[in-house]
C-alpha cells in the first residue's frame, strides 16, 4: 500500500512571533553539488502569478508547534518541492512584510542537501520545480530576504580563498 502524501492544512498549530505578531515561517535552500563541483539550487514556482511572469522562490511555510525548525524546513521541502534531504545550521532570521496580509513575518532559512527527489509530491500540481545556478536563483527571486539567505548560503558553502 502506497503512503498518501498531503500538505498540512490550517493554522491551528502555527507559531506566531512575540516580537512582530506575525507568523513564524521556516524555509530552506535545497541544493546539490554536481560531479563537476558546481552547486545548483532548487527553486519552485510561486502559486501566485505576476504580470512579469513566473515568480520563483524557495520552499517555506509556517512553523508548527509539533515540530522543530529543521523538521518544518524538511516538511516544506517535501510538500512544495518534492525533495528530501539533510538540513545544515540555520542561515539566519529575517523579518519581512507579508504581501498578502497586513503583518510582519519572522522567517528562518536552512540549507538542505538534497538526498532524494520524489516523482510525486503534495503540491506537484500547483508548483513547478527547477534546478538552477545560485546566480540564476538570485536574479529571479523577488524576495529580498530569500536572496540574502542565498548569499549567506553561497558564502558559507563556497568560501573565498584567504589570499584574495
- Residue 37: how many CB atoms within 10 A of its CB? 7
pLDDT, one tens digit per residue, over 55-102 is: 899 999 999 999 999 999 999 999 999 999 999 999 999 999 987 788
Q: How far is CA 109 from CA 12, 15, 47, 62, 158, in A?
A: 22, 16, 20, 12, 17
Comparing 7-11, 43-47, 119-123, 126-130, the range with the smallest average pLDDT is: 7-11
CA distances from 50 to 4, 66, 105, 111 (A): 32, 34, 22, 27
Q: Which domains does the chain have, with CATH numbers?
A: 24-157 (3.90.79.10)
Over residues 18-60, the pLDDT tens digits come to 988 899 999 999 999 999 989 999 999 987 665 556 789 999 9
Q: Is the pTM of this model over 0.75?
A: yes
Amino acid at each position: 500500500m502506497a503512503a498518501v502524501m498531503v500538505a498540512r492544512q490550517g493554522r491551528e498549530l502555527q507559531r506566531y512571533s512575540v516580537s512582530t505578531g506575525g507568523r513564524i515561517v521556516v524555509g530552506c535552500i535545497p541544493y546539490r553539488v554536481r560531479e563537476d563541483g558546481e552547486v545548483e539550487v532548487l527553486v519552485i514556482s510561486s502559486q501566485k502569478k505576476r504580470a512579469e511572469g513566473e515568480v520563483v522562490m524557495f520552499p517555506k511555510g509556517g512553523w508548527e508547534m509539533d515540530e522543530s525548525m529543521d523538521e518544518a524546513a524538511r516538511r516544506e521541502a517535501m510538500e512544495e518541492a518534492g525533495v528530501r534531504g539533510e538540513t545544515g545550521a540555520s542561515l539566519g532570521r529575517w523579518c519581512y512584510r507579508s504581501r498578502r496580509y497586513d503583518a510582519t513575518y519572522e522567517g528562518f532559512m536552512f540549507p538542505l542537501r538534497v538526498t532524494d527527489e520524489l516523482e510525486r509530491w503534495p503540491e506537484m500540481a500547483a508548483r513547478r520545480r527547477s534546478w538552477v545556478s545560485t546566480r540564476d536563483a538570485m536574479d529571479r527571486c523577488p524576495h529580498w530576504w530569500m536572496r540574502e539567505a542565498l548569499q549567506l548560503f553561497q558564502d558559507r558553502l563556497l568560501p573565498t580563498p584567504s589570499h584574495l
